[in-house]
A and B are shown apart, each in its own frame.
Chain A
């Protein structure tokens, strides 16, 4: 059985310009201990998808489909049952660590409160575990840090603290939404190492969301590519990089500047830009930018079709 499976998940948001479909029928499954990368450009629905899994959507959002976690549909859970699930079962790390940190509480208080809310430990034990967690995420002098406030730390240190809090109750699934986008490349490498090490050590599943294909290449078991609210291709990581089938994936891979190409090499581009998510289109959302598009592409939406070895893609004329 999958740890997590999404079935026909949709998220609609009312906006002044009309209904905005942020997530458009996503089917996805993730097994325990696996790392899945979700890649896509700004606005394609990555954050809305992760918030839908976490049941942390804006109030006015309307959700369709099912979010099955360990066999139960968590979109049907009452708030208190959901609260019990978050932390020990499902945890999250956001791009901006301040989204999950409280600016007026010390790091120590926040760690201890989380630990005590979910685990049967006394204050002393909670402090001991808090210090241990800070050390595990690579924070120097963890005892002193327990007494500091988030603003006294650098961006990289804050993200480490947010990860420590997310890991504190030993979740079975961690959702990391662009956890390193705001960080420098050397700090990013450290945070990605940390997440990889902890997922291995804890046999924890992770959804690693990013717009950077480089981030998922070496650190995921599978990758799903998102475009205009839909998963357009999903495959084991090596298969996706070596043999993309959907033209958008192919174009995205080609557009990355390569470290081994000669200076002033012209980059392949994807002309145009993603469609307006408040306008529904009948056919493939990538059609206006796709160089392989044919007449049928604008008529019907291609579904995510299964092929061999877990590689699926949504395209009428695959590569």
Chain B
């Protein structure tokens, strides 16, 4: 198989807060293949956004390497890194807060073009209009308006247009629909799928909603407290999750079906602080299968079934 477009190896990201270390990402390795959508799920604070920002090196990593199309982003600085970033873009969770409130929509979308050195105004205008139309915004009516005049869903269309205007190869989507209502969410998810096909994109799709991840991903990575629990093809993960935490996440989803009685008592406890993560397996304080080895040895990600990797001493097998 060809090398992945994005390759994350043993990535470590730590934040220093008041003399203490927040272990946000602790040794994550994964690859995203050209043309696929890799979903990344986990509870808030588990390090998803940190990983997403580290991919663009917007947050500098503490250790490990990130390679994009064979080039090491972690080794790059200054102008070379800036050039590389034109090929990798980011879409944020909060569509309204991520747009400059004082700039007109047309200028917001044109900004990456200016940064990339597209001097001709006519050329910029042409590309901004084309991308607006692609994301379903009418250039003539939105061009001169401010973000505050738009709804959350429309602001997310503007962010998507801004991310697409340089025709990148890779987009990190950090919870792009979490802040949106159900009816608007479906519009934006469909739009992302259309844009992926039209521009031949590769996506890292971050979310905490497993149903959303299921709808768009080819493979899914499950993260807990800075580490990966499981990486598997979407169907395998949903039908035969191998990691106890993947199972818990699936069981905890409120199902929009009145004939499925919620199983009471599936979830216990809350994730511990990333300042002092548990020894061994980080999930052990909430895991029903935990034993002595889980406290002493950190489980490594290993192949369990075709394409299904799991980091657990006692994975769930069979159905």
A172 touches B (CB below 8 Å): no
Task: State whether the Cβ of B186 lies closer than 8 Å to any Cβ in chain A.
Answer: yes
Interchain CB contact under 8 A, A273 and B211: no
Partner pick for B182 among A41, A217, A264, CB 8 A cutoff: A41
Structural contact, B255 and A214, CB atoms closer than 8 A: yes
CB under 8 Å from chain B, chain A span 162-192: 184-190, 192
**B265 contacts across to A, CB distance below 8 A:** 193
The reply to whether B254 and A189 contact each other, CB–CB distance below 8 Å, is: yes
B211 to A256, Cβ gap below 8 A?
A: yes
B248 close to chain A: CB less than 8 A: yes
List B contacts of A215 (CB < 8 A).
254
A214: which B residues are within 8 A, CB to CB?
A: 253-256
Contact of B187 (CB < 8 Å), options: A185, A264, A271: A271
A189-B266, A263-B217 as given contacts; A41 in contact with B208, CB under 8 Å: no
Chain A residues with CB under 8 A of B190: 266-267, 269
CA distance A268 to B266 in the complex (A): 31
A185 and B178 CA atoms in complex are apart in Å by 13
Q: B residues touching A (Cβ–Cβ < 8 Å)?
A: 43-44, 151-153, 181-187, 189-190, 193, 208-212, 214-218, 234-235, 238, 248-249, 251-262, 264-268, 270-271
Is the pair A256, B264 in contact by a Cβ cutoff of 8 Å? Answer: no
Q: Assess whether B183 is in contact with A252, with CB atoms less than 8 Å apart.
A: yes
Q: B215, A185: Cβ atoms under 8 Å?
A: no
CB of B187 within 8 A of CB of A269, answer: yes
Q: Are B189 and A257 in contact (CB under 8 A)?
A: yes
Interface centre among A193, A196, A237 (most CB of B within 10 A): A193
Partner of B255, one of A184, A217, A266: A217
Q: What is the bound-complex CA distance between A266 and B194, given in angstroms? A: 10
The yes or no answer to A211 lying at the interface (CB within 8 A) is: yes
Q: How far is the CA of A259 from the CA of B249 in the complex (A)?
A: 12
The reply to whether A218 and B254 form a contact with Cβ atoms under 8 Å apart is yes
Q: How many residues of A contact B (CB 8 A)?
A: 50
Determine whether the beta carbon of A259 is less than 8 Å from that of B234. no
Given contacts A154-B270, A219-B262, A267-B186, contact A261 B215 (CB under 8 A): yes
Supplied contacts A193-B264, A267-B189, A273-B183, 9 more A-B pairs, CB within 8 Å: A184-B271, A185-B252, A186-B249, A187-B270, A193-B265, A241-B256, A258-B215, A259-B253, A263-B216
Closest CB pairs A-B (n = 9):
A214-B254, A270-B183, A267-B186, A189-B252, A184-B43, A257-B215, A41-B181, A186-B267, A255-B186
A265 / chain B contacts, CB cutoff of 8 Å: 215
Q: How far is the CA of A192 from the CA of B264 in the complex (A)?
A: 9
Q: Are B183 and A263 in contact, with the CB atoms below 8 A?
A: no
